[in-house]
Amino acid sequence: MVRDKERIVLYRGPDAWYARTDSERTMELFGTDTLPTAWLPEATPAEVRRDIERLNPGAIVIVIE
């Protein structure tokens, strides 16, 4: 079976932007599908999306505002 592209959903939390992924590797490494990013909640959605896309080429990145 061919795997689809990784999907990363970004959302703003009280202390950071968070990334939820469907990557099995993330679950294997961290025991969760959701990780905090390096961006504070004050960062703009466009800024966070741009950087996450740059760091994860080929992934589908979605922002929930």
| Segment 26-59, tens digit of pLDDT | 999 999 999 999 999 999 999 999 999 999 999 9
Q: Among all chains, which residue has been given the structure tokens 């466009």?
A: 46
Q: Which pLDDT does position 2 carry in this prediction?
A: 54
In a domain, 1, yes or no: no
Domains in the chain, number: 1
Contact of 30 with 23, CB cutoff 8 Å: no
In this prediction the pTM is: 0.90
First to last CA, the chain: 33
In a domain, 2, yes or no: no
3-state secondary structure of 34: strand
What is the domain range of residue 40?
7-64
**How much is the average pLDDT of 8-25?**
97
Q: Which pLDDT does position 4 carry in this prediction?
A: 83
Q: Residue 47 corresponds to which tokens in the numbers above?
A: 């800024």
